[in-house]
């Protein structure tokens, strides 16, 4: 333990002793009231902790959604992990993508492909994608429609990756159809 940590621990022990001493003096003849007060404060503290944890989990969903501007562009806020996650509608199904400037194509996870109605049993994995984890087989598919915010494209080529992925990707082949700017943590897509 370094000097700073030791000083903080000593401060917290002294503070706890002070508060404990005050409780002992204040409630010396009312032990039941002391226990009730202690439990009330413990519940308040627990509620604050749970509320803070829920807020951290939900803050990307509250006010952190993509939005269409008056100029017709799409603004996507940066997520806490530093990536941009536009939500698209693929053949009528909502799919969350990660913008990946290192990917060439639109790449769907097997789960997302299944959700949008692609029969995985009939796919022919004749393509090979070079990933950070090595080569992975992939199958070419055509999406009837892909709508990202106000922008909709028809007959879009995508690939279903046979390997394990954490999410579907929007690669450069799709993004080259946009003017892409990033300003103060917000990605703006415009056409």
Domain shared by 140 and 174, yes or no = yes
Residue whose entry in the numeric block shows the structure tokens 């009312």: 30
- Predicted TM-score (pTM) of the model is 0.65
Domain shared by 94 and 181, yes or no = yes
Domain shared by 141 and 158, yes or no = yes
Domain shared by 41 and 127, yes or no = no
Number of domains observed in the structure of the chain: 2
Domain shared by 154 and 81, yes or no = yes
Domain shared by 93 and 9, yes or no = no
Domain shared by 43 and 94, yes or no = no
Where among 34, 58, 82 does a domain terminate?
58
Where among 11, 28, 58 does a domain terminate?
58
Domain shared by 28 and 98, yes or no = no
Beta bridge partners of 98: 169
Q: What does each C-alpha distance from 108 to 15, 74, 97, 169 come to in angstroms?
A: 55, 22, 9, 7
Domain shared by 147 and 103, yes or no = yes
For the stretch 10-28, pLDDT in tens is 888 998 888 888 877 887 8
Q: By percentage, how much of the chain surpasses pLDDT 70?
A: 94
Structural domain that includes position 52: 3-58
Domain shared by 85 and 134, yes or no = yes
Domain shared by 46 and 15, yes or no = yes
Domain shared by 54 and 71, yes or no = no
**Is residue 107 scored above 50 in pLDDT?**
yes
For the stretch 122-142, pLDDT in tens is 999 999 888 877 899 999 999
**Is residue 182 scored above 50 in pLDDT?**
yes
CB of 99 closer than 8 Å to CB of 77: no
């Amino acid at each position: 333990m370094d000097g700073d940590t030791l000083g903080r621990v000593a401060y917290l022990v002294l503070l706890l002793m002070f508060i404990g001493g005050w409780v002992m003096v204040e409630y010396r003849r009312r032990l039941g009231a002391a226990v009730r007060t202690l439990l009330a404060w413990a519940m308040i503290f627990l509620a604050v902790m749970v509320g803070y944890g829920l807020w951290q989990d939900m803050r990307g969903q509250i006010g952190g959604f993509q939005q269409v501007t008056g100029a017709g562009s799409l603004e996507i806020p940066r997520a806490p992990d530093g990536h941009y996650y536009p939500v698209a509608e693929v053949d009528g199904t909502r799919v969350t993508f990660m913008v990946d400037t290192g990917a060439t194509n639109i790449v769907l996870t097997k789960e997302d492909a299944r959700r949008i109605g692609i029969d995985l049993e009939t796919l022919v994995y004749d393509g090979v994608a070079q990933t950070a984890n090595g080569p992975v087989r992939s199958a070419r598919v055509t999406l009837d429609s892909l709508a990202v915010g106000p922008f909709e494209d028809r007959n879009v080529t995508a690939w279903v990756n046979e390997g394990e992925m954490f999410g579907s990707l929007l690669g450069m082949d799709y993004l080259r159809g946009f003017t892409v700017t990033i300003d103060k943590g917000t990605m703006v897509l415009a056409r």
